[in-house]
Amino acid sequence: MSTPTPGTSITVFLNGRPIQTVEGRTILQVAREHGVHIPTLCFHEGLAPYGACRLCMVEIVRGQSRQLVASCTHPCVDGLVVLTDTPAVQRSRRITAELLLATARHVPAIRELAAQLGAGEPRFTLPEDACILCGLCVRACAEIVGVRAISLVNRGAEKRVSPPFRIASNDCIRCGTCVLVCPTGALTLADIAGPPTTRHRSESQYEAPACQLCGQAWNDLPTGTGRSQQAVQAQTGSGAR
């Protein structure tokens, strides 16, 4: 984006087809609007794009050179040439899917996705772990619900989703949004929530956290029907920062 002025009308070429759109939209948004399928895993309409799963790669062409970019974050500019299903793209998706199978090979949704993308039995495996670190749970808790009860801790191979100090989070309101948004069923509330205590917040500073959408505080029902879940289910795009 060189000094983007959102709203300016531009033309992009999607698989050869000229498409009118506005500056500032991402390739993925434009593709979805025009019925072109691009696989994704860490993308959600209601959240800011994250760019972690690398499944949404597409090829852009600039003169003689071609480059793979992540369509969920790459912005459209006038004259952009995009190819969403070339052999290079397919190879990339296949390898990424194979890497997904390294840990999440026992998750039906992942197996199905991998099969669709042409990945066979993984040549490299790690201990089974349904969490693929797509970050959707953390991002939903931060951007839609606003309590930030969980975050990504450690780094590299040790990275995982966790509440602070790996104990039940005082900031969790048990709305269940994170469970709902998880694509592999890796997350359970038991990992995160416990009865509200002030055990790890100083007495004087404790305030019961509440959902920024509906104002609901601690919710005893395992999966409530709070507005955060509605937001997630309807994919209204609200709550994005």
Partner 1 sequence: MEPEPTDLAALIGEHDDGVSLLSVLERIQAHYRYLPQEAMILVSERLGLPLSQVYSVATFYHAFSLKPRGEHLISVCQGTACHVRGSARVLEAVVKTLGIHPGETTPDNKFSLQTVNCLGACALGPVVVIDGQHYGLMSPARVGAVLAKYRDGRAGSDTP
Partner 2 sequence: MTRLASAPDLAALREMLTARHEPGRPSIAICGGTGCRAKGSEEVAGAFAEKLARLGLSAQVTLSSTGCHGFCERGPVVVLRPQGVFYQSVRVGDVPEIVSETLLANRLVERLLYTDPVSGRRVAFEHDVPFYRRQHRVVLDLNGLIDPTSILDYVARGGYAALARALCELTPEQVIAEVTAAGLRGRGGAGFPTGQKWRLCREASGHPKYIVCNADEGDPGAYMDRSLMEGNPHRVLEGMIIGAYAIGASRGFVYIRNEYPLAVRHVAHAIEQARAYGLLGDDILGTGFGFSIEVRLGGGAFVCGEETALMASIEGRPGEPRPRPPFPAQSGLWGKPTNINNVETWANVPLIVTRGAAWFKGLGSEASGGTKIFSLVGKVNNTGLVEVPIGTPLGEIIFDIGGGIRGGKALKAAQLGVPSGGCIPSEHLNVPVDYDTLKSLGAIMGSGGLVVCDEDTCMVDLARFFLRFTQEESCGKCLPCRIGTRAMLETLERICTGRGREGDIEYLEELGGEIKRSALCGLGQTAPNPVLTSIRYFRSEYEAHIRDRRCPAGVCEALVRAPCQNACPAEMDVPGYVSLVGEGRFEEALALMLETNPFPSVCGRVCNHPCEAKCRRAQLDEPVAIRQLKRFVAGQGLRRPIASAPGRDGPRVAIIGAGPAGLTCAFFLARLGYRPTVFEKLPVAGGMLAVGIPEYRLPKAVLREEIEHIAALGVEIRTNTPIGDGIRPADLLQEGYRALFVATGAHQSRRLAIPGEGLRGVVPATDLLRAVSLGEPLPAVAGARVAVIGGGNAAVDAARTALRLGAREVTLLYRRSRADMPALPEEIEAALAEGVVIQELASPVAIIGGNGIVHGIECQRMRPGPFDRTGRRQPVPDPEVRFTLATDLVIAAIGQAPDLSPLLTDLGVERRPDGTIEADADGRTSVPGVFAGGDAVTGPATVIEAIAAGRRAAIAIHRYLQGDGASLWEPVRPAPAAFDPEAEPVPYGRCRAEELPAVERCRGFAEVEASLGAEAAQREARRCLRCDFRDRG
Binding residues (CB under 8 A) for partner 1: these are 148-155, 162-165, 169-171, 200-202, 205
Instruction: Please state, in angstroms and rounded to a whole number, the distance separating the CA atoms of residues 165 and 230.
Output: 30
Using CA of residue 200, residue 203, residue 205, residue 206, what is the dihedral sign?
positive
Exposed, middle or buried, 5 (CB in 10 Å: 0-12/13-18/19+)?
A: exposed
- What is the CA 19 to chain-centroid distance, rounded? 26
Out of partner 2, partner 1, none, what residue 27 binds, judged by CB under 5 to 8 A for its kind, is none
Out of partner 1, partner 2, none, what residue 171 binds, judged by CB under 5 to 8 A for its kind, is partner 1
Question: Binding segment for partner 2 among 46-54, 107-115, 196-204, 231-239 (CB under 8 A)?
Answer: 46-54
Binding mask 81-120 for partner 2 (x = CB under 8 A): -------x--xx--xx--xx-xx-----------------
Closest to partner 2 by CB, 135 vs 224, is: 135
Tokens of 197: 């205590």
Closest to partner 1 by CB, 155 vs 241, is: 155
Out of partner 1, partner 2, none, what residue 88 binds, judged by CB under 5 to 8 A for its kind, is partner 2
The least distance separating partner 2 from the CB of residue 43, rounded to whole angstroms, comes to 12
Longest dimension (CA), the chain: 64
Instruction: Please state, in angstroms and rounded to a whole number, the distance separating the CA atoms of residues 212 and 97.
Output: 35
